[in-house]
A and B are shown apart, each in its own frame.
Chain A
């Protein structure tokens, strides 16, 4: 009983907080909605970066791809996309309520599927790369996508697309998108909690710890890596679809594929919170987003310099993150699983090797 509540308590707390927040703090419901988005960003980045040891700098690619796929489906179902996006269009375009929701639902599903396929395909190109090459390769993927979309007339090129207008008042719209993003983040966390307890999660950790050995043990590492990337791509794609409709206007460089803002936030949030854990990215996202929202307005143009400095400081001086620091400081309280496992190991290990962990 005690054990079960300890596992489910954080989820219940999050559920309660998520349901109450927009009514308790109606003025900040947009900011809190973005916080859920940030949690999705951080947690999906951690699937590769933390659990699998592949530090991607281009996960934002799927966010933008999902956004554009959803937009194209939403518009393409009822109108000609090229005509809709052209600056010189003459017809006035309206979407009825039914059209809007059908388009949005289908678009979101399409975004998820398309991003999974893109991840599997792109995985063929990037997963033979390791370490910094992987990081640069994925960064290249995101920049290439931004540049190509920015010169693709059919989807509005650099001037972007104005999304169909939400049928309903601004308050309904706020609440609607808030709960979508919250639901996405909650489902993702529950899903990850389950995923990390399966053999799949163990395989990811094996790849992180030693990929050659994992392969020698018979794991099809490439298949695992691509699947893991596809999982994070699905969630990012759906997040992109929702966020695109939430902002009402999408554009390649700063909204869909922002390589130096959202893309980096993901990494910083995970490093700040502690990578390779379920709750580290969440804590990192909450702290990062709160600091950002509270201080951003006081910096006036200096905010990105502050961001760069924050990245450098986090990486140089505080790389184990908050959760990692707690693990180190209070191993019994915060890492019951790891501590328990270690004790077991040392019992088994008696007589085999004097220092199983110190051996290199």
Chain B
């Protein structure tokens, strides 16, 4: 094991260009994490709901894209289609469950979304089977540095789309009437209600927007990577790590942490082997939580 890791480190040392390849890959994939993490931070900040079904929304979007590709459509079409469909699914989930738990304690909403996550996972498993799938786009890959760096076109497109989408959401939040209402509700829901903002509508809109963002992110995941019914939990934990590390009120930090997560995973996966990927993410979660605690301990507060 140890030898294996040292061997991999020496490979990186011997061929520095490999580092560059991993870095580029990490950033391209990290853009998708950043996008979905932004959605999580939005719901977290506005509604104070920690959505554990986040990763499963991503998988839903991924499977929508994959199905489109299988039926002869261009998988790139999956991005808008998954966005729209997940908006609807988000609305149903909000009406049935989330609206009922939003005023209760945090564990209630956490457990309720965990329940939703299980329902989605198992439904996907029944509908599509437990195999790993990925949408075939038929786009080329480019190789550089004598074959050491490979960049598939889908990753570039995914990166571009993720950035465009994130930008659109940010502009929307800054300038539109609804965006202002969302930000006002996040600051102080009671004051917002007093000033005539329909917070119920804001919550509903925020949750739907988040689900739709996840859908689009999932479409990109299906394009550049792969989807599997039970991968959702891993994504949820990843996004949780990103948002916890960055703090949900800090948008640039969330995006930076998303990229950081992508890069960390590429290097970690390369050094330890792909089978440690999930363990690596969970251990990172525990480290981030431990660090936050240590930080709060100095000012004698609890992480809550």
Which A residues contact B (CB, under 8 angstroms)? 55, 57, 125-126, 128-133, 135-137, 140-141, 143-144, 147-148, 151, 211, 260, 264, 267, 301-302, 304-305, 307-309, 311-312, 315-317, 319
Contact = CB atoms under 8 A, between A and B. Distances in A.
A144 B108 contact: no
Interface in B257-304: 275-276, 278-279, 282-283, 285-286, 289-290, 292-293, 296-297, 302-304
Interface residues of B, number: 44
Contacts of B161: none
B279 A316 contact: no
6 contacts: A135-B107, A143-B282, A305-B119, A312-B97, A315-B111, A316-B100
B213 interface: no
The 6 closest A-B pairs by CB, nearest first: A130-B304, A308-B118, A311-B115, A147-B279, A308-B119, A128-B293
A151 B107 contact: no
B275 A315 contact: no
Contacts of B50: 132, 136
A197 B114 CA distance: 34
Interface string B108-128: 101110111111011100100
A316 B275 CA distance: 37
B114 A264 contact: yes
Contacts of B296: 128
Contacts of B118: 260, 264, 304-305, 307-308, 311
Nearest to B49: A132
B245 to A, nearest CB: 12
A301 B130 CA distance: 13
B279 A133 contact: no
Nearest to B237: A140
Given A148-B279, A151-B279, A307-B118, A140 B111 contact: no
Nearest to B273: A151
B111 A267 contact: yes
Contacts of B126: 301-302, 305
A135 B240 CA distance: 12
B148 interface: no
Given A312-B112, A315-B111, A128 B106 contact: no
B56 to A, nearest CB: 10
A312 to B, nearest CB: 4
Contacts of B71: none
Contacts of B131: none
B302 A151 contact: no
B188 interface: no
A292 to B, nearest CB: 15
Contacts of B244: 133
Which of B97, B126, B303 has the largest number of chain A CB atoms within 10 A? B303
Nearest to A144: B282
Given A129-B302, A132-B50, A304-B118, 5 more contacts: A129-B303, A136-B289, A143-B282, A267-B111, A315-B115
A304 B101 contact: no
Q: Is the interface of B mostly helix, strand, loop or mixed?
A: helix
Contacts of A130: 302-304
Interface in B41-66: 50, 52
Nearest to B101: A316
Contact of A151 (B115, B275, B283): B275
B177 interface: no
B115 A312 contact: yes
Nearest to B304: A130
Contacts of A131: 105-107, 304
Contacts of A128: 293, 296-297, 302-303
A144 B283 contact: yes
Nearest to B105: A131
A55 B107 contact: yes
Contacts of B237: 136, 140, 143
Nearest to B275: A151
A135 B110 contact: yes
Nearest to B282: A144
B304 A312 contact: no
Contacts of A129: 289, 293, 302-304
Nearest to A142: B282
A312 B112 CA distance: 5
Contact of B123 (A140, A147, A305, A307): A305
B108 A315 contact: yes
A151 B122 contact: no
A329 to B, nearest CB: 21
B3 to A, nearest CB: 14
Contacts of A309: 115, 119
Contacts of B123: 305
B246 to A, nearest CB: 15
Nearest to A312: B115
A5 B110 CA distance: 41
A49 B123 CA distance: 29
A140 B282 contact: yes
A311 B117 CA distance: 11
B289 A315 contact: no
A262 to B, nearest CB: 13
B287 to A, nearest CB: 10
Nearest to B116: A312
A140 B114 contact: no
